[in-house]
Amino acid sequence: MTKALVTDIVLIDIINFSQLTSAQQLEIVVFLTKSFKKMIEKMLLNSNTPLSKFIIGYVSTGDGFYCILNPRLKGFGPILGLSFNDFSEYISKKYNYFEGIRIAAHTGEVNEFKDILGSKNFIGDGLNDCARYLEIKGFTISTVMVSDIAYANLKKFLTLHKDFNTLLTKRELKKSTLQHFKDKHGNEKQGCLIWLRKPGIINPPNINYNSII
């Protein structure tokens, strides 16, 4: 059995997906997936990084998907979430029925396994916990809900990569007060909403991924 990985997880959830027609659901999922892939590939051009090293897992939820980042990028998950948010504004202009996305970022455990077709897949408490952060009331579009542990890792990331700290300061990174809530299972959760007053897509750092994976 492979060892569990502790890494950043970003969950994208399409708002009111179940209220769309089957044709609209297919259209928006296909477009969203292709568009986000192109966005990430463009981001990686400046970082000299293959997609398979940057994102080690993609798990569909039906009305969205999880992105599981390379553990070497722990702390970058919330920043990737902010980039996804910026790109969703473009999608809203293309499809008038698209109401936007909700995004959560969390740091937690995931386990890799092979599914019935032999393809790589992931399970783990990290995925489940990430989804719980979308349950908070008063979720605001154009923000990212970040768990307390993911925010702590973001701060560590910004200490290590001071150029990103400078960039987010210029983009005017904002955060809410600490939010406390109980998930549907009655478990206590806490985190904060973050957003950029000057939004944009932010490339990941150019690092040596081979030191872990």
Closest CA to 188 of 144, 143, 133, 146: 133
* pLDDT computed for residue 48 by the predictor: 73
- Residue 204, in any domain of the structure: no
* pLDDT computed for residue 93 by the predictor: 81
* pLDDT computed for residue 212 by the predictor: 47
- Residue 149, in any domain of the structure: yes
* pLDDT computed for residue 45 by the predictor: 82
- Residue 39, in any domain of the structure: yes
- Residue 213, in any domain of the structure: no
pLDDT tens digits in sequence order for the chain, 213 residues long: 567 899 999 999 999 999 999 999 999 999 988 888 888 888 888 777 788 889 999 999 989 999 999 999 999 999 999 998 877 777 888 888 998 899 999 999 999 999 898 889 999 999 999 999 998 876 677 899 999 999 999 999 999 999 999 999 999 999 999 988 888 888 899 999 999 999 888 999 987 766 544
- Residue 48, in any domain of the structure: yes
* pLDDT computed for residue 91 by the predictor: 81
* pLDDT computed for residue 37 by the predictor: 87
151 vs 76: CA distance, rounded Å: 10
- Residue 207, in any domain of the structure: no
* pLDDT computed for residue 2 by the predictor: 67
Q: How many domains does the chain have?
A: 1
CATH of the domain at 146: 3.30.70.1230
* pLDDT computed for residue 211 by the predictor: 56
* pLDDT computed for residue 94 by the predictor: 85
Collapsing DSSP to helix, strand or coil, 82 comes out as helix
Question: Model-level pTM?
Answer: 0.92
Closest CA to 181 of 159, 205, 148: 148
* pLDDT computed for residue 210 by the predictor: 63
* pLDDT computed for residue 1 by the predictor: 54
- Residue 38, in any domain of the structure: yes
Domain of 162, in residue numbers: 5-199
- Residue 205, in any domain of the structure: no
Residues 6+ apart with CB under 8 A from 176: 143, 192, 193, 194
- Phi first, then psi: what are they for 8, rounded to 5°? -80, 140
